Structure 1
């Protein structure tokens, strides 16, 4: 008999599969104190939570029989993934259950924003009849710009088309072919901002999307445009949005999420042009039932020895295999992360090549990690070692793995190649005895770079003075160079310069580097 502890409130209909299973004892108690949780979980084979229960290392280490933790919802911020993985506990979640709910809430907010429904209702409640004050706009023939074209973004697009809106979408994984198939227009982020009458965001909140819609982005928008956020607080820079509404640049905003919640006293709520809800995107009976059902099935499948639909952390690997693979984990992930930050265009294919002492090893876990390193630039921690391939497949990205006897003089070599709709780029790395991971080739250039910290990649013409100009400019901005590597194929031709520096290069420093004679491209990245 498997004992499943449910420590947060869940839909009873959603956990019906557990309640009806003859080999499962399901115990739901959302009122447990921390001490009671430790006692209860110590006798459980599975733990199911939402966002209330904090599944810390202490909780996991108090559960010697625990095999799986289920999160009934998207994300696993309240679960210590490292502790779960170290203790052999599989973590699963339910990323699909709230798609329809969130898309429908976005449309409800869109209609309410266009027609001033909450404001008008509030006036009526105060016994005021002011029709002229609440003249709205039609959605027909307006352009909705969708930033983030995953499951929810696509559902919003279909509903917007039903209102006869024009749809333009931006997503790092969206190209024209995929957009055409979805029946929407494809644009760059700048094009979406410039064309949108209504802008809605549907991205995860990661480093690349934090304050994605900031003051500069808002300045690109049409006067009188409107902005919606039913995704994650922090994607929109709230101070910039406040100022834009006050100035009249933005006609209004509809917000379901805020950077800090609860947002009872937020200045945006003082503006009558703003409508808001308290993070209700997934708050429907159906969504709560769906996420509970999805996670219940995954928990039962794993307990019974089956495969799960939505795993989050790394699957188990034999100790013998782990001994061989472990030294390459960081190298593979950082090769992918590095290359993803310097490649241009929409990702279409990833190829990973292995040679040398890796020929006789199952390298699939390394390929997963390399793909994870690539995808995390745009998706963040929602992509992991387990779901990397599925995530890539969902985005239409082809994954290829090959082995070769050609080591180019190294004992081992891992090469990652990315093809986009604009270019093909590659990077190769190795493990040097006693010295750790090294990048030894970038495209056709031989280099020797440690893949960590702040890096600056400069493509330039091989001419006297190029290195000196770069060093002098960085010095004026108090940026210290730790190492510098230059690769070239022929004297006076194209070359690449890779620097490791002590702090991030950004703003004026980055712009001034691009203005140096013979420098063609400057790309800055951080690998941690």
Structure 2
């Protein structure tokens, strides 16, 4: 039986060749449809493939009763309503690996152009000016390249940089000494990388944690005369801070393929002669466009033929009976993982998830995926999802373990998430209380009762008189209203933990002042 696949955005013909050659697939190419035409065409399709142009809204999905899969020829799925797709049992797939080589190569092209002033020299030559002395560059050999973000693209950049006989130092929350040695690079903290880099290149996703990661404070740690590159995402580098650093001469130059707001034709950085830029060309190669189309085409064919896909994005459909049992725990599982990821230190090595009580007879694997997603999301952002969480963890060398136990510690149900790093082991447990909803009931060996939502402050301190009062007074000075407070301790005068929920986000200087209070050991602020 023929399967109809609708392609509503321009794609490489060679990339969709697997679809065109498939005898059981009818491929409909219509990249210039109106919205009304899209609604009509998708109503007859079993698969829809898009790039970034087509907006796959809830309305589009609800007009597609036969749709089984939506393919995104690229990484980002912001133009697809994932919740609506999941509700309708539609799998969404993407192509996260297709532009790895093109982006790494573009980074190296920018690196060499920055080192040798190639765009500036060419521009002068076009103006009929031959100015050799003005454009004296620097060699890459024996220079140190600092790589922030050591995923697929970061590793490819490192491989190429070593080919230029550069020294490579890398920072990534999932990178440790052992993994760095295997990759042939030096492992360092973010501060180490900033201080040692002659060239700094960023290859992280843009998430809350990485927004303006390279800011004034970070740039101040760098060597005078260092150079900065961004071929990842606009917003990782604080552009005002970069402008000031280049203009003052502290940073010798910058190479940018991305900006916080695009198009960026009027950006002040473009007025600086030491800055070179391209209009977001990292994935703009014939091969990359072909690769993403090919990857998503194969996944679509596999799914339509009843097979498994390589790059699913959303949670696959489960039976309504199972969904009824699991759905109340979805938010709890993700928030337990998200909470714990923000208080644990070190490089993640193992994630253990334990279930007890009424969850003993349920397939809890979807909950484990969601808990793992909650943990990894802090570092990776929306690229990690319910389905690819396990593979993402595996790619990072993280072991996942799921166990069930009859021990409920007095609760009807209990979900415990534990993280092991190269530095420590931390755990958190939560439950669903009848009529009261989700609760965090244990943090490490401290018993607490916290609603896992909103703005929370986690304070590790010594159990001494006045600690709570001093915290309350300082928060009052900052106009921070305390909604709830929970305190747990091991023994009188020993270690203790304080968890407060407050009405607004805690500013950085307030957190620093809290950490400076007597008997307080560590302060973590998070938003669930």
TM-score category, normalised to shorter length:
over 0.9
Instruction: Verify: 1:508 aligned to 2:514, yes or no.
Output: no
User: Aligned partners of 1:138, 1:33: CA distance in 2, in Å?
Assistant: 52
Aligned pairs for 1:163-312 (under 5 A) are 163-312=164-313
Shift of 1:38: 1.2
User: Aligned partners of 1:258, 1:512: CA distance in 2, in Å?
Assistant: 34
Aligned pairs for 1:91-130 (under 5 A) are 91-130=92-131
Which moved further from structure 2: 37-46 or 143-152?
37-46
Shift of 1:59: 1.1
1:172-200 per-position Cα deviation (integer Å, ceiling 9, x unaligned): 10011100000000000111011100000
User: Aligned partners of 2:343, 2:485: CA distance in 1, in Å?
Assistant: 18
Equivalent in the alignment of 1:19: 20
User: Aligned partners of 1:421, 1:130: CA distance in 2, in Å?
Assistant: 54
1:409-436 per-position Cα deviation (integer Å, ceiling 9, x unaligned): 1111111000000000000111100000
1:492-526 per-position Cα deviation (integer Å, ceiling 9, x unaligned): 11100000001111222111111111111111100
User: Aligned partners of 1:448, 1:483: CA distance in 2, in Å?
Assistant: 10
Shift of 1:89: 1.0
Aligned pairs for 1:5-16 (under 5 A) are 5-16=6-17
Instruction: Verify: 1:481 aligned to 2:444, yes or no.
Output: no
Equivalent in the alignment of 1:343: 344
Shift of 1:141: 0.4
SS for the counterpart of 1:341 is helix
Q: Return 5+ residue gaps in structure 1 as ranges.
A: none
Equivalent in the alignment of 1:316: 317
Instruction: Verify: 1:82 aligned to 2:83, yes or no.
Output: yes
Equivalent in the alignment of 2:432: 431
Shift of 1:458: 0.5
Shift of 1:77: 1.2
Equivalent in the alignment of 2:71: 70
User: Aligned partners of 1:94, 1:160: CA distance in 2, in Å?
Assistant: 26
Which moved further from structure 2: 501-510 or 202-211?
501-510
Instruction: Verify: 1:135 aligned to 2:136, yes or no.
Output: yes
User: Aligned partners of 1:7, 1:505: CA distance in 2, in Å?
Assistant: 45
4+ runs of 1 displaced by more than 4 Å?
none
Tell me if structure 1 keeps the 8 A contact 2:90–2:317: no
1:254-290 per-position Cα deviation (integer Å, ceiling 9, x unaligned): 1111111111111111111111111111111111111
What's the TM-score once normalised by structure 2's chain length? 0.99
SS for the counterpart of 2:343 is coil
Equivalent in the alignment of 1:368: 369
Shift of 1:251: 0.5
SS for the counterpart of 1:268 is helix
User: Aligned partners of 2:509, 2:208: CA distance in 1, in Å?
Assistant: 20
Q: Return 5+ residue gaps in structure 2 as ranges.
A: none
Equivalent in the alignment of 2:381: 380
Equivalent in the alignment of 2:47: 46
SS for the counterpart of 2:67 is coil
User: Aligned partners of 2:38, 2:126: CA distance in 1, in Å?
Assistant: 45
Equivalent in the alignment of 1:160: 161
Cα-Cα RMSD: 0.7
Equivalent in the alignment of 1:496: 497
What's the TM-score once normalised by structure 1's chain length? 0.99
